[in-house]
A and B are shown apart, each in its own frame.
Chain A
Amino acid sequence: MKKHIVQNLGFLFIFLCLLTTLFFLGTIIYFVFTRGAQAISWDFLTKAPRNAMTEGGVAPVIVGTLYLTLGSMLFAVPLGLACAIYICEYSPKSLVVNIIRISINNLAGVPSVVFGLFGLAVFVNFLGFGVSIVSGSLSLGILALPLIISSSQEALVAVPHSIREASLSLGASKWETIKRIVLPTALPGILTGVILSVGRVAGETAPILFTAAAFYKRGYPRSIFSEVMALPYHIYALMTEGAHPDKQRVIAYGCSLVLLFLVLFISGFAIFLRQRQRSLHG
């Protein structure tokens, strides 16, 4: 009997923890929605900022975020995938691989502002890309690398050995096996990881603070070497700079709402992919 009570109390406690978490998620969405909804309109999503950032929309800002995110993925996905394939398929199980693995995990723990400073020192100044989409994308890409590597690794490890062996026994080379058998099987898992890191990258402020973001630009970026406005930084800039805080605050909440929905949408897509993968293989 006593056991039962303890167990029930335990369950109750866990359930309360869950409720608290959901409560926070709910309040965040409610808060951002009630404050930001009044700013959202078709013009807000399709027009450029006007009249000292107090009117008009944030279209160039949204586009800037999309460019930075796409750019970072162009850099991080091939590199991360190659790393994961090497670690899982080619590397001998040895001390060196373990060190590489630990290093990658450590890279995941580096605070994002450090990536920003690194980007400023290396991409902006040393390589001379200046404050630009390239510098920002590369900084964000490095931030996304460990996420992509570890999720790709998981997806590759999950491919059963028997499939690999079957392919090899039919005379396929190792590379053919990886290309034709292992990668297609692991693809949904890899994509899930990629999409989740897209969500992460789209919302990061610190890495682009010094490397890509501008307070104001007119219209869309004209080259990959131009500065760009991006949603997370735009929110920060509207709240801290400029001379019309009242009007800017509304736009900042509008931007938060757009960013929130962008990231929720991306994560939702990842969850959809994972579900589909489960129903196919499970």
Chain B
Amino acid sequence: MKRLAILMSTAIIGLSAAVTPCFAEKIVMTGSTTVLPIAQKTAEVFMDENPGMDISVRGGGSSVGITALIDGTCDIADSSRPIKEVEIQKADANGRDPVAHIVALDGIAVVINKSNPISKLSKKQVKDIFIGKISDWSQLGGTPGKIVVVSRDTSSGTFEAFGELVMEKEKVIPAALMQASNQAVAQIVSQTPQAIGYVGLGFMSSDLKAVEIDGVMPSKDTVLSGKYSVTRPLFMYSNGKPQGAVKEYLDFVKSKKGQELVETQGYVGLK
């Protein structure tokens, strides 16, 4: 028993020694799951170059990130949509001042299962599917079968952007499967033959099939040229004008090197 006691106290002493704070510059980043791969990759490389930095990255969704910025629980909020008027008012009331930084461009790809023969849809058709007007693939000339609509949940910036760009603010049908992340949408669509969903361009993979929207395939080129219409900028919000570590990091993300990293994650860099 004595040995055990010694073992336990060594563990405790070891723990307290290990957690003695050392003064590193700390950035807490949270928000959009769409921006998450960009945030993660750039933070990783940035910390490689600046060993004194301590950045932690979390997901949650754009609204979660902006709320955290307003509450003062994070330094940078990732968002795949611009901040809303209500949120600006709340931030004002809290004495916070969100400043937007565009870090990348992203197309929202409408995706279907690989076994689905459909390859083109108009924006109107996509909208009709998501509001429930079109409910069977045979109505679009596909193999008959009930369409399984997969959407993002309401705290998602991708959901908001899709709502603005495609749905024209109409509501997604209640029967839609609301998913908490891009990857969850991708997973369901890749496993369900009748499914249709939407994901950021960075989440496209060989397991999914993107459809042409109004005759344009989502790709880096069509997003950058503006030909592909379901395109939105991705943001990082800082509180006030960025300073110190936050400024250094955001400058890095917007630099040539940072934008190259953005491209490696499948997004469209700013040119």
Contacts and interface: CB of A to CB of B under 8 A. Distances in A.
Given A67-B15, A215-B36, 5 more contacts: A74-B12, A223-B19, A224-B19, A241-B183, A242-B183
A243 interface: yes
A216 interface: yes
Interface string B110-140: 0000000000000000000000000000000
A230 interface: no
A131 B73 contact: yes
Contact of B19 (A124, A133, A245, A246): A133
Contact of B22 (A124, A222, A227): A222
A167 interface: no
18 contacts: A51-B41, A53-B40, A67-B18, A67-B19, A70-B11, A191-B4, A215-B58, A216-B40, A222-B22, A224-B21, A239-B183, A240-B183, A240-B184, A241-B33, A241-B181, A241-B183, A242-B36, A244-B37
A184 B1 CA distance: 9
Nearest to A228: B56
A218 interface: yes
B26 A218 contact: no
A184 B2 CA distance: 11
B260 interface: no
Interface residues of B, number: 42
B59 A241 contact: yes
B54 A246 contact: no
B181 A227 contact: no
A71 B15 CA distance: 9
A185 B143 CA distance: 73
A244 B173 CA distance: 29
A206 to B, nearest CB: 14
Contacts of B33: 240-241
A193 interface: no
Contacts of B205: 245-246
Nearest to A124: B73
A218 B205 CA distance: 27
A130 B1 contact: no
A52 B41 contact: yes
B40 A52 contact: yes
Contacts of B57: 214-217
Nearest to B267: A243
Contact of A227 (B11, B21, B58): B58
A70 B14 CA distance: 11
Interface string A206-245: 0000000111111011111111000000000101111111
A174 interface: no
Contact of B26 (A226, A240, A243, A244): A226
Contacts of A245: 183, 186-187, 205, 207
B44 A216 contact: yes
Interface of B: 1, 4, 11-12, 15, 18-22, 24, 26, 28, 33, 36-37, 40-41, 43-44, 47, 54-59, 71, 73, 180-184, 186-187, 202-203, 205, 207, 265-266
B169 to A, nearest CB: 27
A243 B15 contact: no
B266 A243 contact: yes
Nearest to A240: B181
Contacts of B26: 226
A180 interface: no
A218 B43 contact: yes
Nearest to A191: B4
B202 A243 contact: yes
A203 to B, nearest CB: 20
A31 to B, nearest CB: 18
Contacts of A244: 37
Nearest to A184: B1
A243 B37 contact: yes
A225 B4 contact: no
A243 B24 CA distance: 29
Given A227-B28, A242-B36, A242-B183, A218 B15 contact: no
A217 B55 contact: yes
A19 interface: no
A216 B56 contact: yes
A84 B174 CA distance: 50
Nearest to B14: A70
A51 B186 CA distance: 21
Contacts of A217: 54-57
In the A-B complex, the 5 residue pairs with the closest CB atoms: A223-B21, A243-B37, A216-B57, A227-B56, A214-B56
A211 to B, nearest CB: 12
A187 interface: yes
A179 interface: no
Contacts of A278: none
A220 B181 CA distance: 27
B22 A243 contact: no
Nearest to B266: A243
